[in-house]
Amino acid sequence: MNTSLSKVALITGGAGLGIGHGISEALAAAGWNLVITDRNPERGAALAHRLSKDGVKVEVVTVDITAPEAPTQAVEAALKCFGRLDGLVNNVGVGLVKKAGEVTDEEFQTLFNVDFLAAFRFVRAALPALINAQGAIVNIGSVHARLAAPQYALYAATKSALDAFTRGLAVDYGAQGIRANIVHPGLVASPQNGPLLTKLGVDPETWIKEFTSTKQCLPDLVTAREVGELVAFLLSKNARSITGQSIYIDGGTTTLLWNRTEKL
């Protein structure tokens, strides 16, 4: 593979234990060169070593994505290493499980900075290079942008904002060849699920089995790699006419009107 001609994607949190690594794996398998941001240099280096084969090159930029200078550093790294930038994936996100009336200003600001402001800044920094390459943007949202769950009001608000922002990007920059879409995953199989569910006082295996049997049309959790394959498709030329879309990958969670086990 001639890497000088290979397309380049910038993925925030691309070495993460959740969806991030699935996106990086799928894009590397499709032949993309990658620029990955991660706060953990060892984790980033390990993923880069694993994915750097068959002509694929992976550059890791160790930054806190909420730092104002982080987007420019990442974009400059892409241009320095590869001379181009064809795709941006705003993947990093944090959660907040708390009733709206109990959320502090500091908690809200942290959530907003990671889940929305950072994505906006990365888009702003990447747009000149993306326009030059006629590239694409994929933002990672959540089913919470559409459905309500207890104690998720503020998290849902940030993902809804990201959803609207994505549509606006498609409108503002479509004439310049830019496509922008947002992927909304449901519950994704991840090593992080176990500790989180245990912390909430439930048995992870039992809870996940009940969730997939009652809250999804399909009986299995979405995998990080499946999310990655969807992102890879949306960045590819095969999706050249798809823009401004909110695409759900959730096993049918957003399709159900009531629990699958309930009788009519």
Q: Which residues are known catalytic residues?
A: 155
For every residue of 115-147, which 3-state class applies, written as one string? HHHHHHHHHHHHHHHHHHHCCEEEEECCHHHCC
The single residue listed with the structure tokens 């992102």 is: 231
- Given a contact cutoff of 8 angstroms between Cβ atoms, the answer to whether 234 and 137 are in contact is no
Q: How far is CA 67 from CA 62, 113, 117, 218, in A?
A: 11, 9, 10, 39
Question: Counting Cβ atoms within 10 Å, is residue 104 exposed (0-12), middle (13-18) or buried (19+)?
Answer: exposed
Give the CA angle between residues 95, 187, 23 to the nearest 5°: 85
Residue in this structure with the two tokens 């798809």, named with its chain if needed: 242
Adjacent-strand bridge partners of 76: none
> For residue 120, what are its two tokens?
């906006």
